Amino acid sequence: MSRQTPSDATASTAFWRSLTGMPSTPPAGDPVPPDGALPPGALEELGSVPLSFYLHVPFCAVRCGYCDFNTYSPDQVDTDAVAVWARAAHAEIDLARRVLGPRAPRPATVFVGGGTPTLVPSHLLTGLLDHLRDVFGLDPDAEVTTEANPETITPALLHGLLDAGFTRLSLGMQSSVPHVLRVLDRVHTPGRALEAARQARAAGFGDVSLDLIYGTPGESMADWAESLDAALSVAPDHLSAYALIIEDGTALAGRIRRGQVPAPDDDDLADKYLATEAALTGAGFEWYEVSNWSRGPHHRSRHNLAYWRGHNWWGIGPGAHSHVGGVRWWNVRHPRRYGALLSDGRSPGEGREVLDAGERRVERVLLELRISDGLPVGVLTASERERIAGLAGDDLLHTVDGPDGPRLVLTLRGRLLADAVVRRLLD
């Protein structure tokens, strides 16, 4: 396996986003019943598996040219769209309570993402978090994150979020280099994200994370090193570094197709991944998932880990995805349709798939092999276990002792080739 394989850091980002985000084409699936009821068996594990909530805010001031998330600018929605969305999201929290029933545990993590959560009036975010707390309770030490675009941050907003119970802020910095930000169509200046991170710290956020993107057309290795240095200069607790994915139908994909800017190069992406690992490790960070690093285990995103560990999560909002007990479903994407279904008392679910035991096992291998805690060897079949020695010999993974016996963990080389490792491992 050479570095010519499409960078698996990219593949990992894509897979992660297909799990949690809103891919432009939802999978075909079975219909969701109007009352949202889950098939028999899906609720059996409810009491023994942690539960998380994701809340999708589908609004942005403008769309960045690389992004295909389910988000709408003001000219694309009705003037009352934000109010309709907030009302419907309250109703979906009530629906979740009816579907999950009394055995649902108190949520361990909540993640408000987008879109641009901090574009909607903060009392709406606060109101939704309060409603979730009223309806489900929240773990006393729940991790409650909101994403935020740097240009929306003010000290007043930050204090409001802290008072409402948010514990973690995830800022979309992407780059600190002006020409890179321009290609990405980002509206903030390089310094704005850093200032927002400092303001968050000063306001009292104990968990501040920055998102970075590498591999933007025209970005040199020196540019990427500069972005990493800038991010580290504000001492964040957590960093996500995503390889740029060129999504079909985006403005950036069009510019690449027309030859106006070059497509990302796999070797360049791999080199930047290695530079990221070196810079972040040097600054005291540890990787805990292929695209995520934290300052020690207690700054890992527990919400992200819930996805990677296959826990249960309910995604509230247009286009949001959910997973409970091997059943995955996704909501209708348009905010107006989402609002209309919920105001009729119906589930906004557009489709779902029910995974059988074999599919769930494969998915577990795919997901848990990407985290530094590793995959328990006991999950593998006898023939899969026979392949471990070959993969270890190729410096792609190693075995560590875990609480439940040996576990497989990717090496640095394995992280660059994670999908290929999974393909070689599985029957």
Ligand X SMILES: C[S@@+](CC[C@H](N)C(=O)[O-])C[C@H]1O[C@@H](n2cnc3c(N)ncnc32)[C@H](O)[C@@H]1O
Stretch that binds ligand SF4, among 65-73, 101-109, 128-136, 282-290 (CB under 6 A): 65-73
| Residue 149 is a binding residue for ligand SF4 (CB under 6 A) | yes
**Stretch of 65-73, 153-161, 282-290, 355-363 lying at the interface with ligand X (CB under 6 A):** 65-73
Q: Are strands 349-354 and 312-316 parallel, antiparallel or unpaired?
A: unpaired
Binder of ligand SF4 out of 172, 215, 326, 339 (CB under 6 A)? 172
Q: Which of 193, 216, 258, 223 is closest to 66 using CA atoms?
A: 216
| C-beta of 67 vs 426, nearer to ligand SF4 | 67
- The secondary element (H helix, E strand) that includes residue 122 is helix 122-136
Of residues 9, 1, 56, 53, the one with CA closest to residue 396: 1
242 binds, among ligand SF4, ligand X, none (CB under 5 to 8 A by kind): ligand X
Tell which one of 16, 53, 54, 69 touches ligand SF4 (CB under 6 A).
69
Instruction: Kindly report the backbone phi and psi dihedral angles of residue 261, in degrees, each rounded to the nearest multiple of 5, phi listed first.
Output: -140, 150
289 binds ligand X (CB under 6 A): no
Binding mask 370-409 for ligand SF4 (x = CB under 6 A): ----------------------------------------
C-alpha to C-alpha distances, 167 to 130, 134, 163, 302, nearest whole angstrom: 14, 18, 10, 12
Among 114, 264, 326, 414, binds ligand SF4 (CB under 6 A): 114
Tokens of 11: 């593949």
- Contact status: 49 vs ligand SF4 (CB under 6 A): no
CA distance readout (Å), 120 to 68, 73, 80, 209, 320: 20, 12, 12, 21, 18
Q: Is the peptide bond before 115 cis (omega within 30 degrees of 0)?
A: yes
Q: Which of 107, 141, 110 is nearest to 317 (CA)?
A: 110
Minimum distance from residue 259 beta carbon to ligand X (Å): 20
Residue 63 interacts with which of ligand SF4, ligand X, none, CB < 5 to 8 Å by class: ligand SF4
| Min dist. Cβ of residue 378 to ligand X (A) | 34
Q: Annotate each residue in 95-124 with x if it binds ligand X (CB under 6 A) or - if it does not, as one string.
A: ------------------xx-x--------
> What mask, x for binding ligand X by CB under 6 A, covers residues 229 to 258?
-------------x-xx-x-----------
Residues 276-305 that bind ligand SF4 (CB under 6 A): none
Residue 145 sits in the site that holds ligand X (CB under 6 A): no
Q: What is the phi-psi region of residue 220: left when phi exceeds 0, alpha when psi lies from -120 to 50, beta otherwise?
A: beta
Q: With 0-12 CB in 10 A as exposed, 13-18 as middle and 19+ as buried, what is 334?
A: middle
Considering Cα of 216, then 219, then 224, then 227, what sign does the dihedral take? negative
Nearer Cβ to ligand X (292/312): 292
The 212-231 contact track toward ligand X, x by CB under 6 A, reads -x------------------
Q: Choose the contact partner of 211 out of ligand X, ligand SF4, none; CB within 5 to 8 A by kind.
A: ligand X
Residue pair 15/275 in contact by the 8 Å Cβ criterion? no
Q: How far is the CB of 156 from ligand X (least distance, A)?
A: 20
Q: State yes or no: residue 241 binds ligand SF4 (CB under 6 A).
A: no
The Cα 323–Cα 308 span in angstroms is: 12
Nearer to ligand X, 172 or 236 (CB): 172
Burial 163-189 (b: 16+ CB within 10 A, else e): ebebbbbbbbbbbbbeebbebbebebe
The gap from C-alpha 161 to its chain's centroid, in whole angstroms, comes to: 20
Q: How far apart are CA 225 and CA 68, in angstroms?
A: 26
Q: Give, as ranges, the residues between 310 and 369 that touch ligand X (CB under 6 A).
A: none
- In angstroms and rounded to an integer, the radius of gyration of the C-alpha atoms of the chain is 21
| Residue 91 CB, nearest approach to ligand X (Å) | 24
Binding site for ligand SF4 (CB under 6 A): 60, 63-64, 67, 69, 71, 114-116, 149, 172
Binding site for ligand X (CB under 6 A): 13, 66-67, 69, 113-114, 116, 147, 149, 172, 174, 211, 213, 242, 244-245, 247
